[in-house]
Amino acid sequence: MCRIGAIKSKKYIHPSLALKLMRSQQKGHDNSGFAFVMQDLGGIFENYKNLPTLSMACSDAGMKIAEDYLHSLGFVRVFQFTPEVYPDAKLDIKTMPNYVFEVFQYPKTYKNASKEEKEELLVNSRLKLRKLLEEDDEGYVYSFWEDVLTLKEIGNPKDIGTYFNLWGEDVNIRSKIITAQCRQNTNYDIVRYAAHPFFLQGYTTLTNGENTFYEKNKLAQKNLHKAYIGFESDSQCFLYTLHYVHKILKWPLKYFKHVLTPLPYEEIEKRDDKEVLTRIKTSMANLAINGPNTTIGVLPDGTMLSVEDSKKLRPTVVCKHNDMVIITSEVCGANEIMPDRNSNDDIYTNEREIVVVDNDLNIERIPQ
């Protein structure tokens, strides 16, 4: 089983906080990896908010492939950050030769391009880059997006933290949103791409659980969008469904829940909005899920959410304190880094609601 956690803060925070959040839940994961996505970046990236950041782990050859390709498109590198690493034979970590965090200026031809055109360019570039790197297994490109930094690695999270010096309070790497998971993929082979969080066009999801409708979800999603690829994990389907409902169909967020776990027909019949819900349930049946799971998501505007399966077989708790909200699998995580909150205000997401945290850290529970 996975343990997942997300922190949303009004101030810039360091990934060590996410590492501590997850380490306290270590009985629930197998120490096979650690991954995080940081959004709304601070520290040394704060001045580049409108420029795309490439997050990649690769070989030397992969580095050249990536840079050559991005240069051929007209991208110009404006900033590069290479994390200082602390190798030690005793550390349980399967490292890659290079960890790349590079900020690029858009090609000149995109000077007057719209937001949509730029988003299209970034997705296409990442997909092509992934393909190029895959040919000879030269690397992994996790995200190429404005104001986003991603790291995924195989090994013991504690050692990964040590290797990248994430335990300290480095002022260089900071952000207002961090989503993290301490585990590699269990359902399939251990592949860096398979580790949560999953990211696409500003949307992030992490899931604890099993998607028993993975096969039909996958078959339905493959044709919906060019970026719906990989499927190295059954949980990836939740990201694509969130992206499809919110970004492509442009539906309000609460309908994500109606797609994931539609109400039974008998309950729909009693609702005033039964026609809408029936249409959704009918047309999106292939995107529904049926396994036990809970998902934490982040939208491009920073809104964070938590949603559960309809059987409530996996927990999430939403905890708030002053300038910070945590959504995580187990309350011990929140106790670790937010000990002085009023735990009576903790929200245990239920099976028929979606809990939404806005940028002012207001928490709304929207019933399905």
Partner 1 sequence: MKLNKIALDDLPWIIEYESDKCMLCGKCVASCSFSAIKVGVQKRKKVRAISNEEGFSIDSDQKAIPVIQQNIDENDYCRGCGICTKVCPNGAIRPVRNKTEIFGTRYRSKTGESVKRGGRTNLHTEGRTLDKIKVGRISQMTDPSLDALRHTFDLRTNLGRVLNPKDIDLEIVNGELQPSKTKSIPPNRSIYPILIGDMSIGALSPRMWEAVAIAVAYLNEVKGIPIRMSTGEGGLPEKLLRSRYLKYMILQIASGHFGWNRIIDSMPYMQEDPAGILIKIGQGAKPGDGGLLMAEKNVKLIQEIRGVPKADLLSPPNHQGLYSIEESVQKMFLSLNCAFKFKVPVAVKVAASATSVSVYNNLLRDPYNIVGGFFLDGIAGGTGAAHEISLNHTGHPIVSKLRDCYLTAVRQGKQGQIPLFAAGGVGMNGNLAADAFKLICLGASGVFIGRLVLQMAGCVGNDFGKCNACNTGRCPMGITTQNPKLAKRLDIDQVAQNIVNYICATDIELKKLLAPVGNSTLPIGRSDALICVDKNVADRLDIQHVC
Binding interface with partner 1 (CB under 8 A): 1, 209-210, 212-216, 219-220, 222-224, 244, 248-252, 255, 264-266, 273, 275-276, 278-280, 282-286, 288, 290-292, 310-311, 313
**349 φ, ψ to 5°?**
-55, 130
Distances (CA, A) of 238 to 171, 173, 199, 309: 33, 28, 11, 11
Which is nearer to partner 1, 137 or 273 (by Cβ)?
273
The minimum distance between CB 215 and partner 1, in angstroms, equals 4
Which is nearer to partner 1, 108 or 250 (by Cβ)?
250
The minimum distance between CB 213 and partner 1, in angstroms, equals 7
Residue 124: partners with Cβ closer than 8 Å, 6 or more residues away: none
Which is nearer to partner 1, 84 or 269 (by Cβ)?
269
The minimum distance between CB 356 and partner 1, in angstroms, equals 12
Pairing of strands 203-209, 293-298: antiparallel
CA-CA distance, 144 to 123, in Å (whole number)? Answer: 7
Order across the sheet with 148-155: list the strands: 93-94, 148-155, 33-41, 175-181, 4-13, 324-328, 317-321, 347-348
Which is nearer to partner 1, 91 or 313 (by Cβ)?
313
Which is nearer to partner 1, 292 or 333 (by Cβ)?
292
The minimum distance between CB 92 and partner 1, in angstroms, equals 24
Which is nearer to partner 1, 175 or 236 (by Cβ)?
236
The minimum distance between CB 157 and partner 1, in angstroms, equals 20
Beta carbons within 10 angstroms of residue 331's beta carbon: 19
For residue 225, give both structure tokens. 């969008």
For residue 170, give both structure tokens. 């480095």
The minimum distance between CB 128 and partner 1, in angstroms, equals 22
